[in-house]
Amino acid sequence: MSGHILIVDDEVGIRELLSEILTDEGYDVHLAENAEAARRSARNAGRILVLLDTGCPATDGVTAAEGMASNGQPHHAVVMMSGHGTIDTAVEATKLGATDFLEKPVAPPGQD
């Protein structure tokens, strides 16, 4: 399996856990601690899946997702993540181009 995944979360533990799980599954994983680092990392990437926390500091994840879509990056699939998500947030994120919405904590495969 191959593919590029960008994990954007201000919580180091979440980034490391998801990175470990996805690396073990054969993905090429990149990490960013905020929306600005995510934009820099995604700017020159080809097809990429972005796991984006809604609660990133400075620029929230929903705004960052909108920014990625408006900057001509349609080849990025964005999945929003939140530990405090609401239906309204999920709906807003999908209207702005997110393909899905996950609740944190995310469990490793087979542990749901």
Q: pLDDT tens digits, residue range 46-90?
A: 778 888 887 776 666 666 665 565 455 556 788 888 877 677 877
Indicate if the pLDDT at residue 28 is higher than 80. Answer: yes
pTM of the model: 0.77
Could you give the C-alpha distances from 99 to 34, 65, 79, 107, in angstroms and in order? Answer: 20, 10, 6, 19
Query: What is the model's pLDDT at position 27?
Result: 93
Q: What CATH number is given for 4-103 in this structure? A: 3.40.50.2300
Indicate if the pLDDT at residue 112 is higher than 60. Answer: no
User: Measured on CA atoms in the order 32, 38, 41, 47, is the torsion positive or negative?
Assistant: positive
Query: What is the model's pLDDT at position 68?
Result: 62
